[in-house]
């Protein structure tokens, strides 16, 4: 008998850090709702947060340690990890080992991993996937503010009169923040939104102005803005004089540039540029939100400083409704930065290069040693794994074979490494397959600790599920290895609360207001206080209540307490050549999370986009003879992938977009990071994943196929395939370079050898359909055609849901379209209620002319709201069609 309970926790996906209430019923059922009291979301959740209950099942989970592919007990696995790391260090020195960790670890996990590497192993070879995510923002903050501090808070987005979104698709990637802006804008239409993104993303929906700049045109754009602000006397000379230095040099650097060259580099019409500049100049309350379009660039750090320069110049920093705002991606990207999880940081915002900082941390930890120089950053780390300098590697909570640039080299490097440990919650990730030792970690819902969101707010994640199998928390795994490496005393924690208290104490240790990260108020908290910990914002010094905004009155963390203007330079970032004439841009979709190890388990989240794709502009499609729904091969100097073409006006000509999510478990050949070279920003070391020269060509398939299947097939013999969960089973897209010699054998290979197998071939068109039944129960349908299969996917999927199909109706299944009376929902728009585009269009045709009335009629968009921008588009399209 399960005791029903209601537990407050935090969403494990994006850096908005929404509060969640998880209710566990007596039958074990879990329901997830937004926490109405949490200041990040006040009850809201997006599609991913709302579908969390679907992803906590144990299918695919790693539940027991494995050594060499065989199940092992913890003692054996931990002893082996400790022995191999110790032995490698003894023979080759501390820099021969490395940890590659993640912003999806909790702060406590992160803290002990960093402590073990930097203070007890004595190397700084610990880097994190935040290198691929936040490193440029960290470097930019440190250059400007002397510390890695986000000055503002979420409320500023509502208080602003202008929100500038730079390289951020907030509607899909930080949906609850987006919704907060939508609501604020409805209340106060004078709140303007400007979007700066080469693509016209869904976030353009609320934008009053969209600048479709050239790839990496941002530095030029903000240099131009600084010049404009200076020439229009919008400079806050008083703020600059009191709190900053270097303004003249930064302005001179901007003014030295040729105006026309600058405009060409930005790539938008002069009039539109002036409109944006004027808007920025006259709007005191301006927040500039930026994300991966800024960070993931070879000029990422300069982009950050070019933005911050404009905010410093206008004194718009850390005041209500004003400030530069780097939004974090992962749930604990910020926590990782606090503990010093990057290879070039130490701990609690202290730096490796600073002898005093080293001494401070060394003494606090009572450590036998301390790292004396920065360790290898992610790209260099995997190169060092590849060339044998690193001989033992421990990967925790990240999937680098999918998410690292030069992914195929990374895969080979890991495969060649003498000793690889992977701690994960999923058994079969592309990275886990290469591990010598696999360690099962507790997943969200089972583990406890803290995370920090984009506005420096620390919240608790609390467990509400029992630990399955013999999975253990990441902090426990790390400390058990540390103990076995001879550091029992320094890692003798009994619970996450002990680690959090130590982390808090270190943040305040010898911190006389010299370090911005200070949560000394919690240095002595006990387990009960930890259990009850309410969300708070750092800094939160002893006897202080936490801080929403910083730097309005200066107080930066440089030697002289002044902020620094950085004289950024314009560098050439035009990379296309005649061989690779397009710019490949990569990023996210609404309903998937990274490498899909979790969202791929949810049929709801797998319907919005069910296969990997490339977005391409009509002009380019014509130029390269590609039509919508063709399969295309995209190649760069490194490698090639196969994906579906989506022809769209959202893309600017010359640039294509491929999502980062698909891995080798869900598609034959769609890991986009195989295409991305390890080119990095020279200051932050962050890879430039959004500007890669590429080529596109049509993949000439002889046969295309679509199938719905009750069971996932073991093997798919096709050049192209992409599989996704759907209601009742799986949906599969395939393409073959040559027509199968024996189509029936091919079909039974996929559908299984059930008793009843029916088949239809249209001799004229060459189209074929197969269906297979077991005792009247449909096992699967396969459609094959010489062109992309045109059958309603939703209708085919709905056939899986019908329990038995009468013999007379079986032909309708083969006809591959809905019979009379069976509506085709169309592609799913609302993931929460499974409402398709046809249902929404029908509601609009019946007279629903707003998102709200569509919601009343169909329920679409009435739960998490992530699909509202798309519904609005359908409504608008209809209005436009009527107007014409």
* Beta carbon of residue 260, minimum distance to ligand MGD (angstroms, whole number): 20
Identify the H or E element spanning 439. strand 437-440
* Beta carbon of residue 99, minimum distance to ligand SF4 (angstroms, whole number): 26
Q: Which two tokens stand for residue 230?
A: 């200076």
Return the range that interacts with Mo ion (CB under 5 A); candidates 80-88, 129-137, 302-310, 809-817. Answer: 129-137
Going across the sheet that includes 703-709, the strands are 720-726, 729-736, 703-709, 777-785, 768-774, 756-761
Residue 674 near residue 408 (C-beta atoms within 8 A): yes
Residue 276 touches which member of Mo ion, ligand MGD, ligand SF4, none, C-beta under 5-8 Å by kind: none
Instruction: Please tell me whether residue 198 binds ligand MGD under the rule CB under 6 A.
Output: yes
CB atoms within 10 A of CB 597: 24
- Which one, 174 or 575, has the nearer CB to ligand SF4? 174
Q: Which residues pair with 67 in a beta bridge?
A: 70, 437
Instruction: Please tell me whether residue 16 binds ligand SF4 under the rule CB under 6 A.
Output: yes
C-alpha 743/C-alpha 736 separation (Å) is: 12
C-alpha 346/C-alpha 352 separation (Å) is: 5
Instruction: Please tell me whether residue 301 binds ligand MGD under the rule CB under 6 A.
Output: no
* Beta carbon of residue 331, minimum distance to ligand SF4 (angstroms, whole number): 7
Instruction: Please tell me whether residue 219 binds Mo ion under the rule CB under 5 A.
Output: no
- Which one, 196 or 481, has the nearer CB to ligand MGD? 196
Residue labelled with tokens 């076995």: 484
* Termini Cα distance of the chain: 63
C-alpha 309/C-alpha 239 separation (Å) is: 12
CB atoms within 10 A of CB 521: 20
Instruction: Please tell me whether residue 198 binds ligand SF4 under the rule CB under 6 A.
Output: no
Output the CA–CA distances (angstroms, integers) from residue 627 to 632, 647, 702, 719, in the order listed: 10, 7, 16, 20
Instruction: Please tell me whether residue 329 binds ligand MGD under the rule CB under 6 A.
Output: yes
Instruction: Please tell me whether residue 103 binds ligand SF4 under the rule CB under 6 A.
Output: no
Short-list 546, 129, 516, 176, CA closest to 327 = 176
Short-list 833, 718, 723, CA closest to 780 = 723
C-alpha 742/C-alpha 768 separation (Å) is: 12
C-alpha 24/C-alpha 36 separation (Å) is: 18
* Beta carbon of residue 597, minimum distance to ligand SF4 (angstroms, whole number): 15
- Which one, 41 or 576, has the nearer CB to ligand SF4? 41
Output the CA–CA distances (angstroms, integers) from residue 117 to 102, 701, 782, in the order listed: 15, 50, 52
- Which one, 123 or 137, has the nearer CB to ligand MGD? 137
Going across the sheet that includes 5-10, the strands are 5-10, 19-24, 30-34
C-alpha 840/C-alpha 835 separation (Å) is: 7
Q: Which of 40, 77, 139, 173 binds ligand MGD (CB under 6 A)?
A: 173
Residue 595 touches which member of ligand MGD, Mo ion, ligand SF4, none, C-beta under 5-8 Å by kind: ligand MGD
C-alpha 184/C-alpha 159 separation (Å) is: 8
Q: Which of 14, 207, 796, 854 binds ligand SF4 (CB under 6 A)?
A: 14
Q: Which of 56, 97, 133, 219 binds Mo ion (CB under 5 A)?
A: 133
Q: Are strands 66-67 and 70-71 parallel, antiparallel or unpaired?
A: antiparallel
Name the closest residue to ligand SF4 (Cβ): 49
Short-list 283, 135, 299, 150, CA closest to 221 = 299
Q: Which of 34, 65, 151, 329 binds Mo ion (CB under 5 A)?
A: 329
Strand extents, DSSP E, 481-547: 536-537
- Which one, 429 or 576, has the nearer CB to ligand MGD? 429
* Beta carbon of residue 8, minimum distance to ligand MGD (angstroms, whole number): 19
* Beta carbon of residue 376, minimum distance to ligand MGD (angstroms, whole number): 17
- Which one, 722 or 778, has the nearer CB to ligand MGD? 722
Identify the H or E element spanning 424. strand 419-424
Q: Which of 690, 731, 767, 793 binds ligand MGD (CB under 6 A)?
A: 690
- Which one, 316 or 868, has the nearer CB to ligand SF4? 868
CB atoms within 10 A of CB 586: 21
- Which one, 245 or 412, has the nearer CB to ligand MGD? 412
Residue 45 touches which member of Mo ion, ligand MGD, ligand SF4, none, C-beta under 5-8 Å by kind: ligand SF4
Residue 704 near residue 738 (C-beta atoms within 8 A): no
Tallying the residues shown for the chain, one arrives at 884
C-alpha 308/C-alpha 218 separation (Å) is: 12
Residue 16 touches which member of ligand SF4, ligand MGD, Mo ion, none, C-beta under 5-8 Å by kind: ligand SF4
17-56 positions binding ligand SF4, by CB under 6 A: 17-18, 41, 45-46, 48-49
Return the range that interacts with ligand MGD (CB under 6 A); candidates 34-42, 412-420, 669-677, 729-737. Answer: 669-677
Strand extents, DSSP E, 570-709: 582-587, 613-616, 631-635, 640-647, 655-659, 692-698, 703-709
Return the range that interacts with ligand MGD (CB under 6 A); candidates 18-26, 380-388, 394-402, 780-788. Answer: 394-402
Residue 169 touches which member of Mo ion, ligand MGD, ligand SF4, none, C-beta under 5-8 Å by kind: ligand MGD
Q: Are strands 392-396 and 97-101 parallel, antiparallel or unpaired?
A: parallel
* Beta carbon of residue 673, minimum distance to ligand MGD (angstroms, whole number): 5
Instruction: Please tell me whether residue 445 binds ligand MGD under the rule CB under 6 A.
Output: no
Residue 641 touches which member of ligand MGD, Mo ion, ligand SF4, none, C-beta under 5-8 Å by kind: none
Instruction: Please tell me whether residue 176 binds ligand SF4 under the rule CB under 6 A.
Output: yes
Number of residues counted as binding Mo ion (CB under 5 A): 2
Instruction: Please tell me whether residue 41 binds ligand MGD under the rule CB under 6 A.
Output: no
C-alpha 834/C-alpha 828 separation (Å) is: 6
- The three-state secondary structure class of 614 is strand
- Which one, 171 or 782, has the nearer CB to ligand SF4? 171
* Beta carbon of residue 654, minimum distance to ligand MGD (angstroms, whole number): 12
Residue 788 touches which member of ligand MGD, Mo ion, ligand SF4, none, C-beta under 5-8 Å by kind: none
Residue 447 near residue 106 (C-beta atoms within 8 A): yes
Going across the sheet that includes 126-128, the strands are 70-71, 66-67, 437-440, 419-424, 392-396, 97-101, 126-128
- Which one, 166 or 800, has the nearer CB to ligand MGD? 166
The footprint of ligand MGD (CB under 6 A) covers: 14, 48, 102, 104, 129, 132-133, 166-169, 172-173, 196-199, 201, 215-216, 218, 291-293, 296-297, 329-330, 396-400, 402-403, 423-426, 429, 441, 443, 447, 474, 585-588, 590, 592-595, 597, 660, 672-673, 676, 689-690
Please give the residue ranges that form the binding site for Mo ion (CB under 5 A): 133, 329
Binding site for ligand SF4 (CB under 6 A): 11, 13-14, 16-18, 41, 45-46, 48-49, 174-176
């Amino acid at each position: 008998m399960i005791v029903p309970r209601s537990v407050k926790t935090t969403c494990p996906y994006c850096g908005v850090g929404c509060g969640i209430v998880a209710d566990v019923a007596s039958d074990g059922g879990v329901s997830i709702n937004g926490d109405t009291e949490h200041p990040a979301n006040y009850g809201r959740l997006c599609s991913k947060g709302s579908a969390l209950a679907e992803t906590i099942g144990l299918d695919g989970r790693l539940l027991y340690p494995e050594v060499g592919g065989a199940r092992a007990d913890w003692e054996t696995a931990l002893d082996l990890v400790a022995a191999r790391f110790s032995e490698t260090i003894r023979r080759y020195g501390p820099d021969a080992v490395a940890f590659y960790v993640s912003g999806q670890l909790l702060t406590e996990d992160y803290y002990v991993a960093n402590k073990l590497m930097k203070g007890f192993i004595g190397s700084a070879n610990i880097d994190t996937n935040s290198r691929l995510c936040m490193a440029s923002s960290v470097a930019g903050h440190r250059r400007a503010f002397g510390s890695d501090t986000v000055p503002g808070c979420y409320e500023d987005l509502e208080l602003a009169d202008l929100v500038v979104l730079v390289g951020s698709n907030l509607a899909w990637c930080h949906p609850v923040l987006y919704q907060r802006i939508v609501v604020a804008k409805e209340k106060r239409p004078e709140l303007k939104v400007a979007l700066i993104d080469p693509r016209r993303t869904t976030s353009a929906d609320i934008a009053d102005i969209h600048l479709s700049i050239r790839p990496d045109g941002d530095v030029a754009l903000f240099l131009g803005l600084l010049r404009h602000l200076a020439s229009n006397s919008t400079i806050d000379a008083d703020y600059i004089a009191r709190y900053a230095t270097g303004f003249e040099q930064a302005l001179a650097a901007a003014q030295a540039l040729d105006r026309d060259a600058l405009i060409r580099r930005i790539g938008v019409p002069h009039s539109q540029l002036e409109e944006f500049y004027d808007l920025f100049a006259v709007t005191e309350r301006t927040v500039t939100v930026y994300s991966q379009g800024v960070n993931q660039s070879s000029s990422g750090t300069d982009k950050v400083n070019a933005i911050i320069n404009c905010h410093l110049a206008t004194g718009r920093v850390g005041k209500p409704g004003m400030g530069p705002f780097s939004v974090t991606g992962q749930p604990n990207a910020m926590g990782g930065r606090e503990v010093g999880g990057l290879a070039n940081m130490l701990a609690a915002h202290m730096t490796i290069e600073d002898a005093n900082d080293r001494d401070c941390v060394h003494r606090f930890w009572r450590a036998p040693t301390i790292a004396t120089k920065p360790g290898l950053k992610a790209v260099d780390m995997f190169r060092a794994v590849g060339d044998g300098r690193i001989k033992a590697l421990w990967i925790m909570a990240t999937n680098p074979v999918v998410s690292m640039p030069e992914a195929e080299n990374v895969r080979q490097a890991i495969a060649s490494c003498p000793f690889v440990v992977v701690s994960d919650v999923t058994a079969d990730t592309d990275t886990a397959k290469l591990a010598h030792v696999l360690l099962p970690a507790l997943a969200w819902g089972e583990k406890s600790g803290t995370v920090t969101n984009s506005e420096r707010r620390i919240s608790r994640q609390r467990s509400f599920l029992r630990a399955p199998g013999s999975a253990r928390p990441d902090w426990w795994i790390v400390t058990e290895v540390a103990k076995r490496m001879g550091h029992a005393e320094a890692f003798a924690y009994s619970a996450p609360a002990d680690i959090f208290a130590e982390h808090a104490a270190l943040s305040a240790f010898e911190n006389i207001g010299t370090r911005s990260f200070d949560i000394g108020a919690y240095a002595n908290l006990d387990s009960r206080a930890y259990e009850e910990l309410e969300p708070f914002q750092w800094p939160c010094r002893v006897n202080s209540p936490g801080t929403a905004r910083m730097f309005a009155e200066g107080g930066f963390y440089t030697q002289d307490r002044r902020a620094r203007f950085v004289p950024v330079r314009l560098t050439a970032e035009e990379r296309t050549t005649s061989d690779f004439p397009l710019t490949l841009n990569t990023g996210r979709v609404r309903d998937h999370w990274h490498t899909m190890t979790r969202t791929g388990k949810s049929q709801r989240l797998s319907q919005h986009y069910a296969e990997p794709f490339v977005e391409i502009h009509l002009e380019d499609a014509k130029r390269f003879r590609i039509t919508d729904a063709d399969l295309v091969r995209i190649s760069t100097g490194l490698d090639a992938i196969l994906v579906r073409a989506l022809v769209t006006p959202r893309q600017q000509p010359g640039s294509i977009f491929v999502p980062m999510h698909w891995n080798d478990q869900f598609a034959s050949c769609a890991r986009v990071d195989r295409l991305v070279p390890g080119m990095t920003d020279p200051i932050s070391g962050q890879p430039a994943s959004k500007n890669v020269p590429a080529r596109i060509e049509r993949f000439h398939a002889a046969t295309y196929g679509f199938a719905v299947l009750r069971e996932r097939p073991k093997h798919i013999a096709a050049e192209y395939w992409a599989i996704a969960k759907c209601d009742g089973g799986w949906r599969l897209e395939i393409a073959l370079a040559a027509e199968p010699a024996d189509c029936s054998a091919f079909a039974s290979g996929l559908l299984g050898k059930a008793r009843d197998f029916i088949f239809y071939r249209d001799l004229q068109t060459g189209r074929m359909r197969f269906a297979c039944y077991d005792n009247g129960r449909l096992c699967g349908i396969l459609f094959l055609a010489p062109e992309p299969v045109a059958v309603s996917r939703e209708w085919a999927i709905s056939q899986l849901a019908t329990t038995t199909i009468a013999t007379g109706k079986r032909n309708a299944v083969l006809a591959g379209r809905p019979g009379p009376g069976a509506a085709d929902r169309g592609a799913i728009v609302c993931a929460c209620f499974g409402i398709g585009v046809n249902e929404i269009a029908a509601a609009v045709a019946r007279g629903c002319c707003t998102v709200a009335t569509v919601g009343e009629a169909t329920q679409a968009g009435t739960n998490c709201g992530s699909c509202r921008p798309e519904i609005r588009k359908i409504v608008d399209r209809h209005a436009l069609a009527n107007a014409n």
